[in-house]
Amino acid sequence: MNTPKGWYEGVSMSRFSMCIGCEGKIPYVSALYTEKKLGSRSRSHRASTYSVASWSRQLCVSCQLSISYIEQIGCPHCGRAVRCTDCERHPLLAYGLAANRSAVAYSEAMKAWLHRFKFQGDAGYAAIMAGMMLHRYELLAATISNFHQQISISPLPFYERLRRWLYRLPSVPYPDVVTFVPSTAERLVERGFNPAERLATLLATAWDCPVMPLLTRMTDQGRQSHLGRSGRELALAGAYRCHTQTLQTLCANTNTSNKSPMYILLVDDVYTTGSTVRACAGALTGALRDYEISAIICSYTWARA
Ligand SMILES: [Zn+2]
Ligand SMILES: [Zn+2]
C-alpha cells in the first residue's frame, strides 16, 4: 500500500487496503493512525526498508491486538513469559549462549501467521515479523542485565540520544554482527528461502549492521517437530558447523586490539525447546575460541513456544 502524496492521489486511490493477517479491509484513516501509534522503533528509520518500517499498516486493528507480545520476562535466560525449569536443567550459558529473547508468545494466531510465511511463502509476513522484532528489541534487550557490563554501547547520533531521552527509552547495545540458524539444502529447495535468514537480513538492514552466514547445517535428520526434548538434542548434536570462510572474513574485519567482546545476534523464527539455538551457539563458540575472537552470543527469535 502506498501513502497518498497529495489531495489528488488521496481522492483517486482506493479508500481501503487489505489486512495481511485476516484479509479484511483496512480503511486509510485507521492505517495512518496505527502507523503513528505502533510504528517501528528501529535505531535508524532511514535504513529501514519501506515495508518493515510500515509493517503495522499492513494489519487491521483487530490483527494488531491479536499479537501476543511477551510483556514480562519470567525466565531471564530464555526470555519465556513464565518461569521455566528447562533453563535450570540445561543452562544456555553452558552452550555459550548468553540469553535468548523472543518478541511474541507462540499463540494460535501467531502459529497461523508463521505457517503462511514458512509454508506458503507469503513474503509479506517476513516484514511484519521483523517489524515486531524491531519494535520489541529495545525493551527485551534491556532485560538482559549483563549487556551493560559486558557489551560496549556504541555512541549514538545526537537525534537518537534526544529521541531516547524524550521517550525514556533504555540505552541498549545493537549487534556487531547478525547471523541466523541455517536451513538444510533440502528445505531451501522445498521452500525457496530460509525464514531465519529473511528475518536476520531485515533486522540487520534496519540496524545498519552486517548479516553473515556464520553457520552451516551438516545433516538433515528429518523434521523435529514431532520429537521430544531429548530426541531433538540428539538429532541436532553435531548438526551445525561454523562456516570457516565467513568466520575468516569476520576475523579479518575484527579489531583484535578492541578489548570489548563482539556482540553476535543469532536469529531464528521460533524457540521451541531451545535445542536448535543451543546447538548453533555451541558450534559458534567453539569456532570463535579457535580463532581467538572474544564474543557474546545472544539469540533473538520472533516467537517463544
Ligand atoms: Zn486483520
Ligand atoms: Zn528458560
Residue located via cell numbers 482506493: 14
Question: Do both 134 and 250 map to the same domain?
Answer: yes
Is residue 74, in this structure, part of any structural domain at all? Answer: no
Question: Do both 93 and 218 map to the same domain?
Answer: yes
Ligand in nearest proximity to the CA of 59: 1
pLDDT at 264: 94
Region of poorest pLDDT, from 66-80, 109-123, 176-190, 201-215:
109-123
Residue that wins the pLDDT comparison between 290 and 228: 290
Distance of CA 79 from the midpoint of ligand 2 (Å): 6
Q: Find the domain containing 46 and state its range.
A: 15-65
Question: Do both 19 and 116 map to the same domain?
Answer: no
Q: What is the reported pTM? A: 0.82
Question: Do both 121 and 58 map to the same domain?
Answer: no
Query: What secondary structure does DSSP assign to 174-227, as a single string?
Result: --SEEEEPPPPHHHHHHHSS-HHHHHHHHHHHHHT--B---EEE-------TTS
Please, which residues have CB within 8 angstroms of residue 39's CB and are 6 or more apart in sequence? 53, 54, 56
Distance of CA 259 from the midpoint of ligand 2 (Å): 30
Distance of CA 128 from the midpoint of ligand 1 (Å): 12
Is residue 218, in this structure, part of any structural domain at all? Answer: yes
Strands 295-304 and 262-271, sheet pairing: parallel
Surrounding residues of ion ligand 2, Cβ less than 5 A: 75, 77-78, 84, 87
Please compute Rg for the chain using Cα positions: 20
Distance of CA 36 from the midpoint of ligand 2 (Å): 34
Q: Please, what is the Cα angle at 229 between 201 and 142, to 5 degrees?
A: 45
Phi and psi of 299, rounded to 5°? -115, 150
Give, as one character, the DSSP assignment of residue 90: S
Question: Do both 60 and 92 map to the same domain?
Answer: no
Is residue 256, in this structure, part of any structural domain at all? Answer: yes
Ligand in nearest proximity to the CA of 92: 2
Residue that wins the pLDDT comparison between 133 and 156: 133
Q: Is the pLDDT of residue 213 over 80?
A: yes
State the average pLDDT for the chain.
81
Question: Do both 253 and 187 map to the same domain?
Answer: yes
Q: How many CB atoms lie within 10 A of CB 108?
A: 8
Is residue 111, in this structure, part of any structural domain at all? Answer: yes
Distance of CA 101 from the midpoint of ligand 2 (Å): 10
The separation between CA 60 and the C-alpha centre of its own chain, rounded to angstroms, equals: 22
| Chain segment 166-201, per-residue pLDDT in tens | 877 777 888 999 999 999 888 888 888 999 999 999
pLDDT at 255: 67
Distance of CA 182 from the midpoint of ligand 2 (Å): 23
Question: Do both 44 and 136 map to the same domain?
Answer: no
Distance of CA 170 from the midpoint of ligand 1 (Å): 31
Ligand in nearest proximity to the CA of 112: 1
| Chain segment 252-302, per-residue pLDDT in tens | 877 656 667 889 999 999 999 899 999 999 999 999 999 888 899 999 999
- Percent of the chain whose pLDDT exceeds 90: 38
Question: Do both 166 and 230 map to the same domain?
Answer: yes
Is residue 6, in this structure, part of any structural domain at all? Answer: no
Distance of CA 75 from the midpoint of ligand 2 (Å): 5
Distance of CA 29 from the midpoint of ligand 1 (Å): 15
| Chain segment 119-143, per-residue pLDDT in tens | 877 778 888 999 999 999 988 988 8
Distance of CA 25 from the midpoint of ligand 1 (Å): 8
Is residue 284, in this structure, part of any structural domain at all? Answer: yes
Distance of CA 19 from the midpoint of ligand 1 (Å): 5
Question: Do both 177 and 281 map to the same domain?
Answer: yes
**C-alpha to C-alpha distance for 34 and 26, rounded to whole angstroms:** 11
Report residue 46's pLDDT band, with 50, 70 and 90 as the boundaries. Answer: very low
Q: Is the pLDDT of residue 31 over 60?
A: no
Number of domains in the chain: 2
Distance of CA 18 from the midpoint of ligand 1 (Å): 8
**C-alpha to C-alpha distance for 97 and 84, rounded to whole angstroms:** 17
Distance of CA 62 from the midpoint of ligand 2 (Å): 30
| Chain segment 236-255, per-residue pLDDT in tens | 777 899 998 898 888 887 76
Question: Do both 174 and 217 map to the same domain?
Answer: yes
Is residue 7, in this structure, part of any structural domain at all? Answer: no
Question: Do both 137 and 197 map to the same domain?
Answer: yes
Question: Do both 180 and 43 map to the same domain?
Answer: no
**C-alpha to C-alpha distance for 109 and 29, rounded to whole angstroms:** 25
Distance of CA 231 from the midpoint of ligand 1 (Å): 37
Report residue 50's pLDDT band, with 50, 70 and 90 as the boundaries. Answer: very low
